[in-house]
Structure 1
Amino acid sequence: MALSTSAAAIITSLLLLVLLRGGSSEGEGNLPQSDIDLLEFPLNLEYLEAEFFAWGALGRGLDSLAPNLAMGGPSPIGVKKARLSPVIRDIIAQFAFQEFGHLRAIKSAVKGFPRPLLNLSATSFASVMNDAFEKPLVPSFDPYANDINYLLASYVIPYVGLTGYVGANPKLQTPSSRKLVGGLLGVESGQDAVLRTLLYERGKVRVSPYRYTVAEFTNKISNLRNKLGKEGLKDEGLIVQPVEGAEGKIAGNVLVGDQYSLSFARTPQEILRIVYATAQENTPGGFYPQGADGQIAKSHLRTQSNKRFN
């Protein structure tokens, strides 16, 4: 039996509605702006990790291995291949390709932005260590010199992104955004756990030619990140006072957590203060000499720019 004109029109409208909903179920067009901003922001750290790990293990970065992911952004400063043992090189190479995947995953959800200028030189990492110890280390710390130095330099990075994902998750409005961040958080947490375990195994080893042990380095780095973040204790090294350990009963701290052994959360502002190494979210420096990218980071840079001209 033939359909009436009105019935056919209703069916056609319903089919169009289904198609439109199906076509917009993924991607930026279906996300609120706040989700887009929160998903884009971590690209800054994912770029840094991708370049540091790829160069450290493979002697090449995005420009060689996945140039489309860099989106034409400037090549990083000073990064190079590290002198690593076969096992550590293999682990770091795995991390590198995981970071490539993270870049692809985020950019499948939001437009993203080109790789920002990154300063991954030995001088940049040496500055972090000098700040951590509140004095110049002599000779200057070289992150690319050997396994222990590279692992300590790596300790500086993934945990910061991990706390950022923990902080972002409850602010996201859509299930697809929370699913993406949950997946990213799982692997970033795994990377941090592997790094901490490798360092914990070497915790009592002296970092040559300095008089400090690996555990002392991690404690100093964590204290520095707390200081720069300016929001209290959200970071702990590998050895703590037993009262500060899990259940207040143990000094070993291979995984860091709060009083309930839950991961700490950081805001984008806290993260910028740390990775800029300036304790100010509107003052670039450290690993990002020209500042981070994305709406959130740019909003703080604009604030600083406005202050200069007012």
Structure 2
Amino acid sequence: MIKGGLAAKQNFTDKDIVHFLTNVECLEGLFDTWGTFGTTFNNNLTLGGPTPIGARKANLSDEVQSHMEEIALNEQGHALFTRQAGSDLPCPPLDFTGGFNKFFGAAFNLTGSNTIASRFGKPFDPFQNDETFLLSVLSLEELGATGNKGLVSLLTNPVIANGVNGLATSATGQATVQRVLLWQRRNNTVPPFGETVQQVFARISALRDSLDGPQIDDQGLVNTDPRYIAVPQYYPNMIPTDVRGLTFSRTPQQLINILTLGSPQGVGVFFPSGLYGAINKPASYNESLPGLDSFPTSNAQVATQLTTQQVGNIPGPLLPPNVTGELDLTQSLTGPLDNGTAATRGFVTEPPGRPFFSNATQARTPASVHSNSLPSKQSPPHHVAVGLPVPSAAPTASGGRHLSEETAVG
């Protein structure tokens, strides 16, 4: 299991990383494609991989169907990228039925013989309706988005790194669409749990974050932690970021640990036979391999323009010695610490009220921005929240302050 928040870089070859991507993109892409179109990938992109257990068409509204068609085609394209980048591994055996029941069961703290079926009377069906399908899709989508972003710095071939960067940005955009669709349905009840979409996803977010280390890099549909400057307290959270507005990254080890619920061998849940390739466990990798591998240039499918010899060694970024670490930037700039539970991911619906702002979340703008007059060159700048009322001294239960209509000089 991953213990550290930022797992150390592992010197995998580029081909190892592309093979790892095959596992992840097959999981996401096949689930989205089956649920949206009721069929598998085109053109044998699975390379003979088996049909996933439980794969079928989801019962979707016209609105969700139209959005998911674009997303599913993008995901199928992600699988195509791994083939063009040289992956010759078939899609591994996948289990949608057992996988999502174990994953969502873990989000409800069900272990051993305690299952969703025994607790709620029937198993979870990811294809049942808009809510169950979108929750399932987003559970995987944000793992792909953060995982792809985390791979970019591990790759040495610039063409492949650029492609994986495209995977990360594409997956982040897809996840944003899915969050918006879920936000619109946040108060709908999710079968068989009897909880709302917002509550169930808060549990999923807390589960994912509990399996990738002590740092906070997962968020629910609603922000209830006032440390994040991009999203005021109790406001919708459509793009999870840290206090700098940066999207999160995960290592391959962290993803495997989440997808197999902490299996030391990386087997189970969605991957009943494990992951294919050299990167198939959440820990214990050989760190002595060279950073630049000899990627096969004779294979016409390889998406590269130069040989690795022509590219040469690419030095990593030189970081200033005083840069604050990600762990520091995602812990307690203001307000209380996220306690890692569903409660801080928006499980409890609070009255919308007014947004939370601290000194760290205010922008310096002319005072006249809140008046009907045009800005004056002589007007002294005030510290105010852009486009919003200015904070007063009314404390909140979390120790912060809600906004009032009063003007406050910074």
TM-score for the superposition, normalised by structure 1: 0.79
Alignment partner of 1:285 is 2:268: yes
Q: Where does residue 237 of structure 2 map in the other structure? A: 253
Relative to its length, the structure with more strand (as a share) is 2
* Residues 223 and 231, structure 2, Cα contact 8 Å, conserved in 1: no
Give 1:36 shift: 2.0
Rounded to whole Å, the distance in 1 between the matches of 2:137 and 2:282 is 28
Change (3 A) 1:182 1:241: same
Corresponding residue for 1:54?
33
Q: In structure 2, do the counterparts of structure 1 residues 35 and 231 end up closer, same or farther at CA, with 3 Å as the change threshold?
A: farther
Q: Where does residue 78 of structure 1 map in the other structure?
A: 54
Whole-angstrom CA distance in 2 between matches of 1:200 and 1:240: 12
The residue aligned with 2:218 is 235
SS in structure 1 of the partner of residue 104 of structure 2: helix
CA contact (8 A) 1:59 1:81 kept: yes
Contact conserved, 1:276 with 1:283, CA < 8 A, in 2?
yes
Q: What is the CA deviation profile of residues 101-129 of structure 1, one whole-angstrom value per residue up to 9, with x for unaligned ones?
A: 112222212233111000012x4312221
Q: Note the C-alpha offset of 1:299.
A: 9.4
Partner of 2:247: 263
The residue number in structure 2 matching 1:29 is: none
- Shift of the alpha carbon at 1:33? 6.4
The partner residue of 1:110 within 40, 64, 86 is 86
Alpha-carbon shift at residue 200 of structure 1 (Å): 1.2
What whole-Å deviation, never above 9, does each CA across 1:17-44 have from its counterpart, x for those lacking one? Answer: xxxxxxxxxxxxxxx9622222321111
Q: Which is worse superposed, 200-209 or 283-292?
A: 200-209
For 2:64, which of 74, 88, 109 is the aligned residue? 88
Could you report, residue by residue, the CA deviation over 1:138-184 in whole angstroms, capped at 9, with x for unpaired residues?
Answer: 13221111111111111211100111111111222232122111111
Following superposition of structure 1 onto structure 2, how do residues 50-199 of structure 1 map, counting pairs within 5 Å? Answer: 50-62=29-41, 65-67=42-44, 69-121=45-97, 123-135=98-110, 136=116, 137-138=119-120, 139-199=122-182
State the Cα distance separating 1:189 from its structure 2 match.
0.9
CA 301–143 in structure 1, closer or farther in 2 if over 3 Å, else same: farther
Normalized per residue, the structure richer in helix is 1
Q: TM-score, normalised by structure 2?
A: 0.61
User: Deviation string for 1:200-243 (max 9, x for gaps)?
Assistant: 11122232454311111111001111112234322111112140
Take 2:23 and 2:125, find their aligned partners in 1: how far apart are those partners?
23
For structure 2, the 5+ residue unaligned runs are 1-10, 111-115, 287-410
Provide the rounded CA distance (Å) in 1 between the counterparts of 2:175 and 2:51.
Answer: 25
SS of 1:50's equivalent in the other structure is helix
Q: 1:248 offset after TM fit, Å?
A: 6.3
- How many residues get paired? 267
Residue identity (%): 31
